[in-house]
Structure 1
């Protein structure tokens, strides 16, 4: 079991960068390759642990290399991950999602930008194709808070 966990962690670490920028108070999660379901969920849960540790409410998810999710993983994100963050952190969180133009079109047509922007009182989600716009939205969200 320990060997499997270590192997999963090594693969995950080569797929994912987690970094907290204290100067901006933004937690960055960058995918470098398409993860499988287990890696995806572990990656987001690791980001959640880091957010708890640094007490950040501002997240930037760089999804350009991660790609679109399977319907099961999409459901896990929306029905399990975000509610877990809300419940355990107990404060408003801002999730800025950086995507490719084709992923943006998919989100717009199949999920709905309005749906994500109004996801819940505790979780605010923005979707952007420019990292500058993604960061600016987070900084503006902090100023409006």
Structure 2
């Protein structure tokens, strides 16, 4: 599977920059969030790609139970499937980023200590891709 497309999410792998790109197109229900992230992980595993740009600017409808699912179910599946640190650049609307940074539980850009993923938040795509490129250069040494 090279790509995944639904009414709520497009996922592609950019061979040239070696980045998986997921673009959420609208608000989602919990089952859509879970199906979407399962597709992202499946494509990432197929492409052996640990560098993701996730455009969540249009995604709404995510609540505390969805965050709990991400932390307790989805994130623990990353390392077994991908074998090393996964780097996620989240492309967010400025007001969503401000809200996330004001929430003490979400304020840290880094993963909790000892977790095999690293999350960085951005409001513009160019800096997000530049960060992923730096991570890719460092990550190829890590493996």
**TM-score (structure 1 length as normaliser):** 0.85
Structure 1 segment 17-96 matched on structure 2, within 5 A: 17-67=10-60, 69-96=62-89
State the superposition RMSD in angstroms.
1.5
Q: Counterpart of 2:118? A: 124
Q: Which structure's residues are more often helix, by fraction?
A: 1
Q: Unpaired segments of 5 or more residues in structure 2? A: none
Q: Unpaired segments of 5 or more residues in structure 1? A: 1-11
Report runs of 4+ in structure 1 exceeding 6 Å deviation: none
Q: Counterpart of 1:100? A: 93
Native 8 Å contact 1:117 1:126 kept in 2: yes
Native 8 Å contact 2:55 2:91 kept in 1: yes
Structure 1 residues 52 and 93, CA gap change in structure 2 (3 angstroms): same
**TM-score (structure 2 length as normaliser):** 0.86
